Structure 1
């Protein structure tokens, strides 16, 4: 692999569709990205559940494409005009960063309302159709071009790649869910689904001083939830007492029902996992009205949520076993094997290191 002063030879894993193998493609790209853009070397990318659903056909996504939207990397180039992190820090070459799942225009009506994650012209990393002239749009590549309108957060040196990589999807989504729930100190919180997001939610809620109940039918996941700060675990049945906040991450209609039915007066249910059609659930309007209940949906997240996610991991990753949620150190040419490992189960995330050994 050769580099020049003005370019790098990038590599990406092209996904051609359900049932087809990944193909690794090499392509030279400019070391200097366009105005307001970044060129980032991807040090680690993790296989998210939605990536797995795409590859197995459970989720519709354009093909060919470059998948991957959970990653951490090192800045190689900064485009004209510069780029600032969410906290205002200028981005410079050599900085270790994570970036948001979405880039937004900043000018449409949704962006103006603070809903940039649902921008009218949103672009999503790992979800875009492949353009041969601009292929670096996903995490399963040696490099990614980070577009204007993308939230960027610097990662402290003490946070390992295996902890930082999921921040740009799993951790930030949980941060958005907790923001929707409001302050949690002293509140009773139910978390349904103890996968990557649910375990993260248990830890974040416990760190805020909540009393946390985690529900999952898998005994191993229930055991993990205790290690992440849950006070009690359930097999998926309703708790024996009502809760102030119910956070739903499994996407199962039965779990949504448990969340809605478990709310105390003034309670809030935050639904996150239901990103695909499912069985309808029953809502008693009188109970919602008399109980002063709030039901909120969370999809994607805002820039502040990504900052909150990284801040939480930096402050607490040594208190909870986040590093143990990620397995594997697959090379870019082994992306298919990483997906096979994810399909078999085990740890919630499998890791690919597409550019870790490359020079900055």
Structure 2
């Protein structure tokens, strides 16, 4: 290809990314080459770069992105089985799955026995363009590819392949036990997953409380129809969780029946387990990097008939439903506003440093090159 696709390769904590060129891409049957339009930095990217979690290196990070198909292998298809076409604007699943192992057959393709994950794999000869922090991604057969309308803004579309689809999976896990319509839902963590889950739950007819220490995130939650709570406040403050719950009880919502933990904070895990009502469902989503152990009062869980579930990633059907949600709601649920700023691809280290401050829910990465491109790049 000319010009050659470029990717930002990460090797170890404390070492800057290196821009690498991939002059040749071989597409096997079912593969596709997608030119990136926009990518966002997920919290897991930050955790990896900081060394909070292990990763095989060298690798190309990034797994939240939207792009357009520019080349196809024979027989490449969308997740619904229809032929993929040149020019399709697409998002795709985090996971590459075989579709035939026992886990795939059980409906757990995100835990396939031969799983590969975009933005998480060591680059190898023949699959160098493995993550979203690049100009192109080599999307392999076994990936769920979903088209998305050109009308959906790129900062909204990019998060579909991680945050939005994970939020769909979290609510699916809860609604298997509890009808969301009319339920009182507590969500701890007002990041992209938590706020997406809040928007989905509000749409489903739930009364939703979002607990987060950041005032801007609580304000966003209020704007999409949720009730904000501040975990740092003292009793008597109108945003103290007990005060918020008492106000709901006066309206007949006597206890939390669904709780979704989306922050990964140990205190928040304690909160959702302790505050869930009798017969309620707790879904843990945010604990995706090592952290302190959480004490569990097993007797209390048993006596309250609590259902406790973990959700990690999602299925192809949940990705398709995430895209459908974004296509119908992006005007009224401005998730793109949570992408606070964007950087050119060759300033990725600055972008990740910015994302690590927590000042923005998401930081964007665009494939254009800034002044750092004058430093050049090396071929694979």
Give the TM bin, normalised by the shorter chain: over 0.9
- What is the Cα deviation at residue 113 of structure 1? 1.0
CA contact (8 A) 1:248 1:255 kept: yes
Q: How far, CA to CA, are the matches of 2:350 and 2:7 in structure 1?
A: 15
TM-score for the superposition, normalised by structure 2: 0.87
Deviation at 1:140, TM superposition (A): 0.7
- Mapping of residues 55-70 of structure 1, within 5 Å: 55-70=49-64
Partner of 2:303: 290
- Matched residue, 1:353: 366
How do 1:249-264 residues align onto structure 2 when only pairs under 5 Å count?
Answer: 249-264=262-277
Distance 1:45 1:232, change over 3 A: closer
Are 2:122 and 1:126 equivalent residues in the alignment?
Answer: no
Contact 1:46 1:68 in 2 (8 A): yes
Q: 5+ unaligned residues in a row in structure 2: which ranges?
A: 233-239, 246-253, 370-380
For the Cα contact (< 8 Å) 2:261–2:286, is it kept in 1?
Answer: yes
Q: State the distance in 1 between where 2:291 and 2:16 align.
A: 29
- The aligned counterpart of 2:128 is 135
1:166 aligns with 2:159: yes
Structure 1 residues not aligned, in runs of 5+: none
For residue 355 of structure 1, report the CA deviation from its aligned partner. 6.3
Q: Find the aligned partners of 2:270 and 2:351 in 1 and give their Cα distance.
A: 34
* Cα gap change, 1:134 to 1:171, in 2 (>3 Å): same
Range with greater deviation from structure 2 (219-228 or 93-102): 219-228
* Other-structure match for 1:36: 30
1:196 matched to 2:192? The reply is yes
C-alpha contact 2:7 2:134 (8 A) present in aligned 1 = yes
Q: Are the equivalent residues in 1 in contact too, given 2:219–2:228 (CA < 8 A)?
A: no
Does residue 16 (structure 1) correspond to residue 11 (structure 2)? The answer is yes
Query: Does the 8 Å contact 2:75/2:83 carry over to 1?
Result: no
Displacement after TM superposition at 1:352 (Å) = 1.1
Find the counterpart in structure 1 of residue 230 from structure 2.
234
8 Å CA contact 1:143–1:355 kept in 2: the answer is no
* Equivalent residue number for residue 47 of structure 2: 53
- TM-score with structure 1 setting the length: 0.92
Q: Does 1:315 align with 2:309?
A: no
**1:83-98 mapped onto 2 (5 Å cutoff):** 83=77, 85-98=78-91
Match of residue 27 from structure 1:
22
Match of 2:235 in 1: none
Aligned partners of 1:147, 1:229: CA distance in 2, in Å?
39
Segment drifting more, 252-261 vs 229-238 = 229-238
Could you tell me whether the CA contact under 8 Å between 1:190 and 1:246 is conserved in 2?
yes
Aligned to 1:270: 283
Contact 1:218 1:235 in 2 (8 A): no
Q: Is contact 2:41-2:363 (8 Å) kept? A: yes
RMSD: 1.8
What does residue 106 of structure 1 align with? 99
Question: Comparing 33-42 with 319-328, which one deviates more in the overlay?
Answer: 319-328
Q: Is the 8 A contact 1:324 1:347 kept in 2?
A: no
* Alpha-carbon distance between aligned partners in 1 of 2:15 and 2:188, rounded to the nearest angstrom: 34
How many residues align? The count is 349
Point out the more displaced range, 221-230 or 304-313: 221-230
Distance change (3 Å), C-alpha of 1:260 and 1:344: closer
